[in-house]
Structure 1
Amino acid sequence: MGASPPAPPSALPSPAKIAAALGKRVLGQVDAVREVSVALAKKLAGLRVGNILLVGSSGSGKTTLMRAVEDLLASDPALALRSTVVRIHANVIGEEAQQGTASERVMHRLLERARDQLGAAAPVARVVAQASHGLVFIDEVDKLRSRVGDQVQVSGIRAQEALLTLIENEAVPLRLPDWAGGATVQVDSSRLLFVCAGAFEGLYESVFGRVIQGQGEQSLKTTTVSATGRIHEEVRFALRDWLRSEDLFAYGMTPQFLSRFDAVVVLEPLGEAELYKIFVGSADSALRQSHAYFASQGIKLEISESAVRRIAAEAARQPRLGARALKEVFRRVIRPYEFDPEHAPGLAEGRLRIDVADVERGLARGRDDSATSSGGWG
């Protein structure tokens, strides 16, 4: 029902500018940021865009990337009106698919968001047109798999089929919500952009097993030389180098569903450098939250550079957890201080100093079940 009015080229951000903005929030995922940036630039220009599937372990930045795009558009009213953004958890899609209303639920969310953008007095036709240019983020799409092992998941099949009605770039019948009159109208879904993301737990092991079975582990071994001159072999395996469509089919994503994605992007495990930047620079990092907590207690928290880097290094040893590993590692170190700050070692004149030795003690204490049960210094 109509297209967004074309904007002058100079008024639209280039993919490079979009990537620069997103890169401030999403660290270490250059390929994913670039893919989304190009798609977003095309969409803002009113062009049709291929859908994107993001594959990455928990904490790798998938949801952060989605939120960064949403915030970027919201920060500029002119850009916001060129795309209506909604984020939906796959579990919601699965539940609605059981009742045959999954695609309707997605469109109703878009309509509600479009009405918020345009105002309650906006004509229904304009609201529908705005919604038809939506950007739909679906998180944990791997939960919609059609099978788990040898067990067929009917709910997953239904959910994927329901989304296909919107992803297939066709005019689809839609019953409008009551506030929009309740009539059934035809909606052009060809301008919708879907960005779906999932951790796909077990996919890494499955692909690794396939590669080992076919080529042997020796093919993945690389000889490296350490700083001390020591030579050793290590197995290097990156999912992005070996992932095939057949692996996703076997996981439970139907060929019909997967074929609607122009790009499948694998997010890399975060390294120590990226984790360090997230720990010290992220607006919602556990470190900043802890600073705020101690400030509320009248205490200034000071953590040495070496301590921060030790925390990042320990988190990097858990690559499958990504940024979430930072919270777990830091929790093991900081929780006793938070539990009993008045008697914390290192507290003097309202300042609490934590150095790398304190981090090492905290990590050792965290590995001791008897110590973690107390929570304090006792």
Structure 2
Amino acid sequence: MLETTSVERKGKKKDILSDIYSSLNNIEADKLEDGKEEIAIEKSNVLMIGPTGTGKTLMARTLARILDVPFASTDATSYTQAGYVGDDVENCVLRLLQAADYDVNRTEIGIIHIDEIDKLARRGGGEAGSWGARDVGGEGVQQALLRLLEGTILTLSAKPQAMVTSGYTSTSSSSTPSTRDTPNRGPRADGSTLINAAYEPPGWDPNNPMNRSTTGGKKGVREGLPGFSGGSGLGSKGDTFMVDTSNILFILSGAFVGLESIVSSRLGKGSMGFGAPLPASPATPRSTVAMKGLATTDLATYGLIPEFLGRLPVLSTLHPLSVADMVRILVEPRNALIKQYIAMFEKYGSELRFTHNALEVIAKEGLERGGGARGLRGVLEELLVDAMFEVPGSSVRYCLITGPVARREEPALYFSRGQKHLFSQAAEQDDKPIVSSGTHVGEVDDEVEEVPKLRAVG
């Protein structure tokens, strides 16, 4: 089922799926048969390392949806050490509790994804520490996450929702004493009795701060202070929940820019003679660096403390996307970008089609922009901006995007309602390599008949 929502990442799903399966089996550990010794199976948290746009967050979210467990995704850059301005690390468990609709039992089997975990590296890096200063947003957050990753019982307080109370409105200066002191009662069309909103009930003391909280006028001095309930009898702290994080699976991810140079320097250090491994040059692309040799010592050199790495036993590396991966991302997932734009043009009353050559051109341009799969939407928006403006309300029934169109060499091809055979013929000619005497594969012969085109009018 995972292939319908995300593109397979060369076996990395096997690592994450096996860890999640073991984590869910730990919940059934107390249901062993009588006479057997109970063995607690501990969870294995996951650290995913890969460039941006390779689907780290999408993979974790998709797995949680397939397994029907609560899921919460947070950003590590907003966390700080306790006592400083910023979010505490316990907020990630609170978000998971909210995603589970405050069901503690479902919360304790959920998945928490923390992205940008590489931003928590020590400012000094490696054994140098943090240059003698307190690193409240880096090493301090790593130390605060230790007990959550290991498993602890947290006491979380969920604030109640704001209650809207309809109180009495203040009287205006134009009101007469008779209207302020006497209730205005009278029959209404529906048979009910109308009472003047400015009428104050007997015993109402406007100087009492306990009564001012329900009026729309001046508020009391103590109102708004912590622990002040405003006379409503309800506490401001809300409900308290006890959540055990022992079975909550933590999936951490980050780009870790510059980690490949650390791995290359370690593998190529002290190499001499024939057949010795040589360190990769700085100009070598990241995809050619052997990230399979990644070790925890490399991450410690990058800036993660050993105690933090010890609670992340599974290291999963994602390589950069290739052109073939980008083409699959465009067409294969359930909510693929090509499917989205095809559905959009169906609402316009037109059929949109992309040739395989056009998909390759779009994938190459998106890959050159950087950012992984996130750059594909920008390429498609620039490519289809004219078509999305001209097709709605026109006589265009078919819209074709070919390789030359994707390369901005010509505008999109439009066909009217009776030109479906020309529409299909043009799509086949763009995908089929044309070979003739004196031409090479991929070169267009001048003798090929040009397909009639139609431009949108109106």
Please identify the structure whose Cα radius of gyration is greater. 2
CA spacing shift, 1:72–1:183, aligned 2, 3 Å: closer
User: Is 1:327 aligned to 2:303, yes or no?
Assistant: no
Structure 1 runs (4+) deviating above 6 angstroms are: 148-152, 233-236
The aligned counterpart of 1:26 is 6
User: Is 1:202 aligned to 2:178, yes or no?
Assistant: no
CA spacing shift, 1:98–1:219, aligned 2, 3 Å: same
The aligned counterpart of 2:122 is 146
Deviation at 1:42, TM superposition (A): 1.3
The aligned counterpart of 1:376 is none
Alpha-carbon contact 1:333-1:362 (below 8 Å) kept: no
CA spacing shift, 1:234–1:130, aligned 2, 3 Å: closer
The aligned counterpart of 1:37 is 17
- Consecutive unaligned residues in structure 2, runs of 5 or more: 28-40, 161-236, 411-458
User: Is 1:177 aligned to 2:224, yes or no?
Assistant: no
- Higher mean alpha-carbon deviation, 150-159 vs 31-40, is at 150-159
Alpha-carbon contact 2:80-2:86 (below 8 Å) kept: no
How far apart in 1 are the matches of 2:286 and 2:121?
30
Alpha-carbon contact 1:32-1:54 (below 8 Å) kept: no
- Higher mean alpha-carbon deviation, 51-60 vs 40-49, is at 40-49
CA spacing shift, 1:268–1:49, aligned 2, 3 Å: same
User: Is 1:357 aligned to 2:404, yes or no?
Assistant: yes
How far apart in 2 are the matches of 1:252 and 1:235?
20
1:34 alignment partner, SS class: helix
User: Is 1:191 aligned to 2:185, yes or no?
Assistant: no
CA spacing shift, 1:314–1:44, aligned 2, 3 Å: same
Give, as a single letter, the amino acid of the residue that structure 2 aligns with 1:88. T
Identify the structure with the greater strand proportion.
1
1:107 alignment partner, SS class: helix
CA spacing shift, 1:147–1:340, aligned 2, 3 Å: farther
1:88 alignment partner, SS class: strand
User: Is 1:161 aligned to 2:143, yes or no?
Assistant: yes
Identify the structure with the greater helix proportion.
1
- The TM-score, its normalising length taken from structure 2, stands at 0.58
Alpha-carbon contact 1:52-1:262 (below 8 Å) kept: yes
Q: CA RMSD in A?
A: 3.7
**1:76-111 CA-partner distances (Å, limit 9, x unpaired):** xxxx4xxx4322222343487735862432332233
User: Is 1:301 aligned to 2:295, yes or no?
Assistant: no
Deviation at 1:262, TM superposition (A): 0.9
The aligned counterpart of 2:100 is 114
Alpha-carbon contact 1:275-1:323 (below 8 Å) kept: yes
Alpha-carbon contact 2:80-2:89 (below 8 Å) kept: no
The aligned counterpart of 1:98 is 84
User: Is 1:61 aligned to 2:47, yes or no?
Assistant: no
How far apart in 1 are the matches of 2:327 and 2:241?
52
How far apart in 2 are the matches of 1:146 and 1:286?
38
CA spacing shift, 1:176–1:349, aligned 2, 3 Å: closer
Alpha-carbon contact 2:114-2:252 (below 8 Å) kept: yes
- The TM-score, its normalising length taken from structure 1, stands at 0.68
Deviation at 1:141, TM superposition (A): 1.6
The match for 2:342 among 286, 291, 306 is: 291
CA spacing shift, 1:136–1:206, aligned 2, 3 Å: same
How far apart in 2 are the matches of 1:288 and 1:183?
45
CA spacing shift, 1:218–1:30, aligned 2, 3 Å: closer
In the comparison of the two structures, how many residue pairs are matched?
309
Identity %: 27
Give, as a single letter, the amino acid of the residue that structure 2 aligns with 1:357. P
CA spacing shift, 1:36–1:290, aligned 2, 3 Å: same
